[in-house]
Amino acid sequence: MLPRRLLAAWLAGTRGGGLLALLANQCRFVTGLRVRRAQQIAQLYGRLYSESSRRVLLGRLWRRLHGRPGHASALMAALAGVFVWDEERIQEEELQRSINEMKRLEEMSNMFQSSGVQHHPPEPKAQTEGNEDSEGKEQPWEMVMDKKHFKLWRRPITGTHLYQYRVFGTYTDVTPRQFFNVQLDTEYRKKWDALVIKLEVIERDVVSGSEVLHWVTHFPYPMYSRDYVYVRRYSVDQENNMMVLVSRAVEHPSVPESPEFVRVRSYESQMVIRPHKSFDENGFDYLLTYSDNPQTVFPRYCVSWMVSSGMPDFLEKLHMATLKAKNMEIKVKDYISAKPLEMSSEAKATSQSSERKNEGSCGPARIEYA
């Protein structure tokens, strides 16, 4: 009798949704058990090994698991709360590609005087060298804005609804050093850029000089504010008289996604500066290449208009902030003198910024937003 009663009870529960509840409870139990085990392992390694040893161990495991289904390496990094510089730092090749783009434009016949170049966008070779397929898929540049001191192009990014933008411009009333330093100085930017809600250096890499930053900025009403977590690296080539700054979006365990802002996960920026004479004499040309996905539901043409109009506005604000710092002798950090450490096979440590703070727990994903 007992087995029949149990069977009848089970069938009754199944009709009422009890089977689904049973399966859900089982899934929760297994998931919770595995998470607790992962936490216990992390705590054990935290007691057994120093921070530097944990980084080395995690780096080895990352390289072994990188590329496997399920992004096991990213999960490990998140559980350990460690940012793996071996995977995310900006490499020398990325800096060199940006410099090569500037050189290719300089090799063209005088962009600002030649009418043939003024009214037709430049068509440099694809940055992905040795890949003919990717080169063939790249779209031509389209002129968007043609002003006296700068020109703006755009081109569709293959496989997306987004554009990549390129600005080539010149300034003659500030020095390259001043312009470069103002662009890099996060503390000064909080004063001259009214759109900044938060801008902090999260972590620095002493191997390459790369930095991870968290940037929160206002977007035009009625859109939510956006936040960016990105790595940047700059280089000053004294011999070739050139400066370069490269940035791109990354994930960092100390800055989880917040329900207050929309996280921008696709972002790239490359700025190259070529002095007319020297770093400390007025006059330089610059090349800015930029793309991001602001995660908006507005039509493509609206987003394109916002970016194409907002980029020149930002550059002019940057220019005016440089003039103000120059004329009022505002103290700005000299990044050219404070040169990043050269790459070394022995330098394996990273330094945590004093600005590092916890940003709170990750809230539920916002599916629809402006």
Looking up residue 182, the CATH number of its domain turns out to be 3.30.530.20
| Structural domain that includes position 212 | 92-352
Count of H-run helices and E-run strands, the chain: 11, 11
In this prediction, residue 357 has a pLDDT band, given cuts at 50, 70 and 90, of: very low
Domain membership of residue 361 (yes or no) is: no
Work out how many domains the chain is built from and give that number: 2
Shared domain check, 336 and 191: yes
**Strand 226-237, strand 242-249: pairing:** antiparallel
Shared domain check, 74 and 134: no
In this prediction, residue 44 has a pLDDT band, given cuts at 50, 70 and 90, of: low
For the chain, give the percent of residues with pLDDT over 70. 60
Q: What is the pLDDT at residue 280? A: 95
Out of 46-55, 134-143, 147-156, 180-189, the most confident range is: 180-189
Shared domain check, 142 and 15: no
Shared domain check, 294 and 263: yes
Domain membership of residue 363 (yes or no) is: no
Task: Among 54, 83, 112, give the residue marking a domain's end.
Answer: 83
Task: Among 83, 100, 133, give the residue marking a domain's end.
Answer: 83
Shared domain check, 117 and 254: yes
Shared domain check, 190 and 125: yes
CB atoms within 10 A of CB 224: 16
pTM of the predicted protein model: 0.68
Domain membership of residue 367 (yes or no) is: no
Residue 183 has pLDDT above 70, yes or no: yes
Shared domain check, 241 and 156: yes
Q: What is the pLDDT at residue 339? A: 54
Domain membership of residue 368 (yes or no) is: no
DSSP secondary structure string, 144-170? EEE-SSEEEEEEEPTTSS-EEEEEEEE
Q: What is the pLDDT at residue 338? A: 64
Q: Hey, is 268 helix, strand or coil?
A: strand
Q: What is the pLDDT at residue 148? A: 85
In this prediction, residue 347 has a pLDDT band, given cuts at 50, 70 and 90, of: very low
Shared domain check, 302 and 263: yes
The predicted-structure confidence for 61-93, as pLDDT tens digits, reads as follows 655 655 555 455 555 555 556 788 988 999 999
Domain membership of residue 156 (yes or no) is: yes
Q: What is the mean pLDDT of residues 132-139?
A: 59
Task: Among 83, 117, 149, give the residue marking a domain's end.
Answer: 83
Domain membership of residue 362 (yes or no) is: no
Shared domain check, 24 and 123: no
Shared domain check, 240 and 96: yes
Shared domain check, 301 and 157: yes
Domain membership of residue 288 (yes or no) is: yes
**Which is it for the CA torsion 54, 267, 70, 91, positive or negative?**
negative
Whole-number average pLDDT of the chain: 76
In this prediction, residue 170 has a pLDDT band, given cuts at 50, 70 and 90, of: very high
Q: What is the mean pLDDT of residues 326-332?
A: 86
In this prediction, residue 236 has a pLDDT band, given cuts at 50, 70 and 90, of: very high
Shared domain check, 212 and 71: no
Inter-CA distances, 69 with 30, 66, 72, Å:
20, 9, 7
